[in-house]
C-alpha cells in the first residue's frame, strides 16, 4: 500500500507512520520540517496554512492508496489538500474527534447522534468542535462519502503524546512523595492508545471502510485508580497516592481535565468523554491493549528523551501548579 500522511512526525501521525512502515507500506509524509521525519519515509515539505504551501505536494510524482490527515485547525486547509488529492488517492482518512457531537452528549452515544451546527468545509478556524466537524465535511466534499473514513477519537494516550496528559502523571509520580489521586478509584476511563488507533486506521483502509467510527476503548477499559497504580508501578517511585474526592478538588479551585489531566468527575462531562458506544468499531476489528502496556511504553519513551517531552504550542499548560498541589494536600 502507498500511504501519504499529512503531518506524520508527531503523536498520532507518527504512530500511523510507524505502523505502516512495520507493514512494509510505502510511506510519504508531508510536513513543515519542524520535526525530524521517521527513517524510511519519503519527505515532502510545505506549510498548508501559507500561500502556495501545497506546492511540493502538487508537484510530487505518483499517487497514493490512502491519505491520513490529523489536522485540527481551519477546515479550509483540509478542503484544499483533499481537493488537490482527490484524483491522486484512493481514500481519505480524517482523524476527527467525538467533540463533533452537539452538547450534551448522552451516555452511550453512537456515531449517529446529533452533530454541532454551523460547521463548514471552507471555514477558517473557530473552535475545536466546529473545526473538526468542518474537516469531516471537507474530506467528504472532496472524496465523497464512500471514499472518506472519519475516525472520531476520544482521549488519546501513548508514546509520542504531545498534549502532556499521561506524561504529566508519570513525571509527577516519578518525583515521589504524596501525590493527589482524584477519585473514586473505580471511576471508569475510556481512551485509545495512539498505536491502536493507527493499526485500526490502516486495517480499515485495507478493508475499504468508510463513514464515521467512534475510536476509543470500550467504556471501563480501565479506571482512574488503575491508571495511577500503573504509573507508580512502572516508575518504581516512592509515591503515596492520596485519594481525593470531587468536593475537595472543587474547594481548592482545581479544574478537572486540565489541572488534573484525564480525570473528570461523574456527571455530564464524564458521560460525554468516557461512556461512548464503540460497538461499530469493535465489530470492525478495533483492539485495545491493556492500560499497563500503554503506561509502561509511555514511560519508556519519556526516559529515552533528551530533555522535556514535546508539547504542542497551541495547547494550554496541563497539570497542577505547586500552589494548587499544596491546596489539595496542605499537610504534605
* Pairwise CA distance, residues 32 & 48, whole Å: 8
Q: How far apart are CA 102 and CA 117, in angstroms?
A: 8
Rg (CA), the chain: 20
Mean pLDDT, all residues of the chain: 96
- Output the DSSP codes for 137-183: HHHHHHH-GGGEEEEEE-EEESTT-SS-HHHHHHHHHHT-EEEEEES
CATH 3.40.50.720 region(s) of the chain?
Answer: 2-153
CB–CB of 34/239 below 8 Å?
Answer: no
pLDDT(316) > 70: no
| Res 314 pLDDT > 60 | no
> What's the pLDDT score for residue 243?
97
Cell of 246: 470531587
Beta-bridge partner residues of 152: 96, 214
Superfamily holding 2-153: NAD(P)-binding Rossmann-like Domain (3.40.50.720)
Report which of 143, 122, 142 is spatially closest to residue 133, judged by C-alpha positions: 122
User: Tell me, what's the pLDDT at 98?
Assistant: 97
pLDDT above 90: residue 28 = yes
CA 138 centroid distance within chain: 20
In which residue are the cell numbers 460547521 written?
Answer: 119
Query: What is 114-134 written as a DSSP string?
Result: -B-SS--TT-----HHHHHHH
Q: Give phi and psi for 232, each to the nearest 5.
A: -65, -45
Rounded-to-integer distance, Cα 268 and Cα 266, Å: 7
Q: Are residues 96 and 132 in contact, defined by beta-carbon separation less than 8 angstroms? A: yes
Q: Is the pLDDT of residue 312 over 90?
A: no
SS3 34: coil
Give the percent of the chain with pLDDT over 70.
Answer: 98
pLDDT tens across 51-105, in order? 999 999 999 999 999 999 999 999 999 999 999 999 999 999 999 999 999 999 9
Mean pLDDT in residue range 126-137: 98
* Beta-carbon count within 10 A of 103 CB: 11
Amino acid at each position: 500500500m502507498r500511504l501519504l500522511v499529512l503531518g506524520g512526525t508527531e503523536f498520532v501521525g507518527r504512530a500511523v507512520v510507524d505502523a505502516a512502515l512495520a507493514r512494509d507500506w510505502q510511506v510519504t509524509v508531508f510536513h513543515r520540517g519542524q520535526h525530524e521525519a521517521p527513517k524510511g519515509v519519503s519527505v515532502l515539505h510545505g506549510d498548508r496554512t501559507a500561500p502556495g504551501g501545497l506546492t511540493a505536494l502538487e508537484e510530487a510524482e505518483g499517487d497514493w492508496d490512502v491519505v491520513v490527515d490529523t489536522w485540527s485547525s481551519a477546515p479550509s486547509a483540509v478542503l484544499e489538500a483533499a481537493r488537490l488529492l482527490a484524483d491522486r488517492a484512493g481514500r481519505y482518512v480524517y482523524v476527527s474527534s467525538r467533540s463533533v457531537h452537539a452538547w450534551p452528549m448522552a451516555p452511550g452515544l453512537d456515531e449517529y447522534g446529533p452533530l454541532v451546527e454551523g460547521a463548514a468545509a471552507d471555514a477558517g478556524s473557530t473552535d475545536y468542535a466546529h473545526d473538526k466537524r468542518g474537516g469531516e465535511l471537507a474530506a467528504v466534499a472532496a472524496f465523497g462519502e464512500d471514499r472518506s473514513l472519519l475516525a472520531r477519537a476520544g482521549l488519546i494516550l501513548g508514546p509520542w503524546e504531545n498534549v502532556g496528559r499521561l506524561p504529566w502523571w508519570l513525571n509527577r509520580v516519578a518525583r515521589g512523595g504524596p501525590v493527589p489521586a482524584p477519585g473514586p478509584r473505580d471511576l471508569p476511563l475510556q481512551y485509545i492508545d495512539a498505536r491502536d488507533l493507527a493499526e485500526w486506521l490502516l486495517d480499515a483502509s485495507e478493508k475499504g471502510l468508510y463513514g464515521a467510527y467512534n475510536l476509543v476503548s470500550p467504556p471501563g477499559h480501565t479506571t482512574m485508580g488503575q491508571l495511577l497504580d500503573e504509573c507508580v508501578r512502572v516508575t518504581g517511585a516512592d509515591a503515596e497516592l492520596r485519594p481525593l474526592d470531587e468536593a475537595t478538588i472543587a474547594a481548592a479551585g482545581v479544574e478537572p481535565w486540565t489541572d488534573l489531566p484525564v480525570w473528570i468527575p461523574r456527571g455530564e462531562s464524564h458521560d460525554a468523554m468516557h461512556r461512548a458506544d464503540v460497538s461499530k468499531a469493535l465489530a470492525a476489528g478495533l483492539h485495545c491493549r491493556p492500560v499497563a502496556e500503554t503506561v509502561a511504553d509511555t514511560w519508556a519513551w519519556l526516559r529515552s528523551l533528551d530533555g522535556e517531552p514535546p508539547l504542542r504550542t497551541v495547547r494550554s499548560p496541563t497539570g497542577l501548579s505547586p500552589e494548587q498541589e499544596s491546596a489539595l494536600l496542605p499537610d504534605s
